[in-house]
Amino acid sequence: MSSENKSSNRILIMGYLLIAGFAIILIRLWQLQVLQGSAFRKISESNRLRVIGVPAPRGIIFDRNGIPLVKNVPYFCASVIPAEFTGGTLSSLGRLLNVPEEELESKMRKTQQSPFTPVRLREGLSLKEVSYIEARRSDFPGLMIEIEVSRGYLYGETSGHLVGYLGKMTPRQSQDPEFKGVPPNAFVGQWGVERLFDKTLRGTAGQRVIEVDALGREIRLLLEKPPVKGEDISLSIDIALQAAAEKAFQGRPGALVALKPDTGEILGYVSSPSFDPNKFAKGIGADEWEALSQDKNLPMLNRAIQSQYPPGSTFKIIMAIAGLEEGVISDSSKVDCRGGISFGKWHFGCWRKTGHHVISLHRALVESCDVYFYDVGRQLGIDRIYSYATKFGLGSKTGIPLGVEKKGLIPSTKWKMETKKTPWFLGETFVNSIGQGYVSTTPAQMAVMMSSVANGGKVYKPSILKGAKPELLIDAGVKPETIEKVKDALKGVVNEPGGTAGVAKSAVTTIGGKTGTAQVVGIRKESKFLSEKFRDHAWFVAFAPVEEPQVAMSVLVEHGGHGGTAAAPIAKKAIEAYMLPVEKKREQAYVQD
């Protein structure tokens, strides 16, 4: 081969190599700019653009009179963008944030997100701490202050079990379709009304796209999508009633549930002792949570629907209605009470050891004679008692959606045979006729019962929103004259001489009601100095005004002793607060400092 041909071949090979090289470069450019262009553009933009989430203001919760129960408050967090953190060391950053270096390392290491996604290092900063960090932020590129929207609960413990509180989304909630699109660090409802109406109150977060310099400082705003505020809601609660009741409990364990008789709207909902939801909204510490969870008074227990108690003599209301409706007694039927009755080897006493002597229905309710209602129970039998008790909502869940609810128990011959495998005995009827024995109820159920007596026999499902359409569950079908006779006697309990709830007599309105003392254990009279945990529970169920009921309620004070001295004064204060003019309530709205 001539030298000329060899030279030509070399040129040809070099040409092919150049063409191949250019082809590779073109393919690579196509790959970078077309196939992977969007990904690299995002990385490039992240070096100068920052997308900041703007939390949505949460809807405000009002009481029925337009008094706000909550407010929105800013929640400040210190975060860092790992890809931009090129200035100070973790140890110096830890000193600035008052966070151990090991904790910062752990948080930075655990994140599985993009290096341009902010990592939360410390939350719940005060304004003073925010100012201190902002003044030194230029020394730490990538460090930023993020703002979330949290809550301030204006009535503190007064609204704990009712309004509830916010908290960070749990891992389980983050997987729930209901929370789709909610930023992972956002506050969501975790308890009470905040949880029940979270979607309505939550709103939609917005975004701000800003251009930043090499130190992460904002240069200009490029794009803004404003947040959409959540919807406000008006509860059926009357905060004046609520606050008066909470104050009257003085921290004693118990519950109050108040209803609007003609609609079933909840006017008051107290579980005492309560907890301060502000502690949760700010991020409750481990020590505070342990103190709450270990508290022997169980402040996290929702006693209104989650605790069951014998109703004591408040159950005599059902006995009177059943006796009149079934014709086994009339308002003139009399019994001679000599302090108790004997049945076989058993003695069933009356609370008044000397007896009430010859007594009719009206005074039997006014003075709460046990012997009279032993006789009514004997004539009715337990199954007819069961029928009337359940017609008035006892033994069934009320449907209040503020926690896992207990249903109580109204016994029957069938129930005992199925559960105890033994027949029913007359002596058990005597005991259950005065609200002891197997009978158990919740404060919410007793409020439903009292509300249905006040309105003439209609059981409405309790509702938490103002103006909600009434939902009739049961119409007891009781004759109006029966209800009127019982209501007249309940008026006497408070307003007649010898009534067991004279302390509830009010100059503001006419209150009717019934006391109850629910025995915890059998204690001899001379053992009255035993521990408080053995004392009887105190009940009072009430309605007002008697002439045209606007409010009905139940009050339970655990180990309070007598209903007339422990529970009735609470009901009186709550009812009187409810009867205040709306303008006065707004003027005197109590707000926790």
The better pLDDT of the pair 197, 22 is held by 197
Count of alpha carbons within 13 angstroms of residue 18, beta-carbon side: 6
Measure Cα distances from 461 to 75, 265, 388, 447 in Å: 38, 8, 18, 11
Under the banding of pLDDT at 50, 70 and 90, the label for residue 274 is: very high
Cα 493 to chain centroid distance, Å, stands at: 33
Tell me whether residue 368 is one of the annotated catalytic residues.
Answer: no
Domains and CATH numbers, the chain: 50-84+93-234 (3.90.1310.10), 239-282+302-587 (3.40.710.10)
Q: Where are the beta strands (DSSP E) in 504-548?
A: 512-518, 537-544
Label residue 167 by pLDDT band (50, 70, 90).
confident
When pLDDT is cut at 50, 70 and 90, the band that residue 524 belongs to is very low
Distance between CA atoms of residues 103 and 545, nearest Å: 61
Report residue 78 as tokens.
Answer: 């210190």
Average pLDDT over residues 335-343: 93
At residue 87, the pLDDT reads 62
Once rounded to an integer, what is the mean pLDDT over residues 131-144?
88
Alpha carbons 46 and 83: distance in angstroms, whole number: 9
How far apart are the C-alpha atoms of 14 and 16, rounded to whole Å? 5
| Residue 324 confidence (pLDDT) above 90 | yes
At 249 the pLDDT is 96
Using alpha carbons only, what angle is made at residue 462 by residues 460 and 467, rounded to the nearest 5 degrees?
95
Please enumerate in sequence order all residues whose Cβ is within 8 A of that of 283, keeping only pairs 6 or more positions apart, or say none: 123, 124, 168
Confidence of residue 33 (pLDDT cuts 50, 70, 90): low
Pairwise CA distance, residues 290 & 296, whole Å: 12
Identify the active-site residue in 46, 271, 274, 313: 313
Which band of pLDDT confidence, cut at 50, 70 and 90, is reported for residue 18? confident
State both tokens at 189. Answer: 């409802």
pLDDT at residue 527 in the model:
47
Burial 482-517 (b: 16+ CB within 10 A, else e): bbebbbebbbbbbbeeebbbebbebeebebbbbbbb
User: 59 falls in which pLDDT band (50, 70, 90)?
Assistant: very high
> 511 pLDDT band (50/70/90 cuts)?
very high
Strand partners, 463: 265
- If you ran DSSP here, which 8-state letter would residue 68 be given? B
pLDDT digits (tens, 9 = 90+) for 97-131: 999 988 888 888 776 666 777 888 998 899 999 99
| Percent of the chain whose predicted confidence (pLDDT) is above 70 | 89
Secondary structure letter of residue 495 according to DSSP = H
Q: Give the pLDDT mean for 543-569.
A: 95
Instruction: Give the angle subtended at the CA of 537 by the CAs of 533 and 541, to the nearest 5°.
Output: 160
Token digits for 133?
Answer: 């960090």
**How many Å apart are CA 342 and CA 91, to the nearest integer?**
82
Nearest to 105 by CA among 80, 134, 129, 77: 80
Q: Residue 81 above 60 pLDDT? A: yes
Residue 285, pLDDT score: 78
From the number of C-beta atoms within 10 Å of its C-beta (0-12, 13-18, 19+), residue 231 rates as middle
pLDDT, tens digit, 9 for 90 and up, residues 347-371: 999 999 999 999 999 999 999 999 9
C-alpha 238, offset from chain centre: 15
The pLDDT assigned to 183 comes to 77
**Residue 185 clears pLDDT 80, i.e. is over it:** no
Residue 32 has pLDDT above 80, yes or no: no
- Mean pLDDT over the full length of the chain: 88
- The per-residue pLDDT for range 417-457, each reduced to its tens digit, is 999 999 999 999 999 999 999 999 999 999 999 999 999 99
The pLDDT tens digits for 85-96 are 876 678 899 899
Query: Is the backbone peptide bond immediately before 273 cis, with ω within 30 degrees of 0?
Result: yes
* Residues 244-265 pLDDT 10s: 999 999 999 999 999 999 999 9
pLDDT at 224: 81
- What interhelical angle do 90-97 and 127-135 show, nearest 10? 150
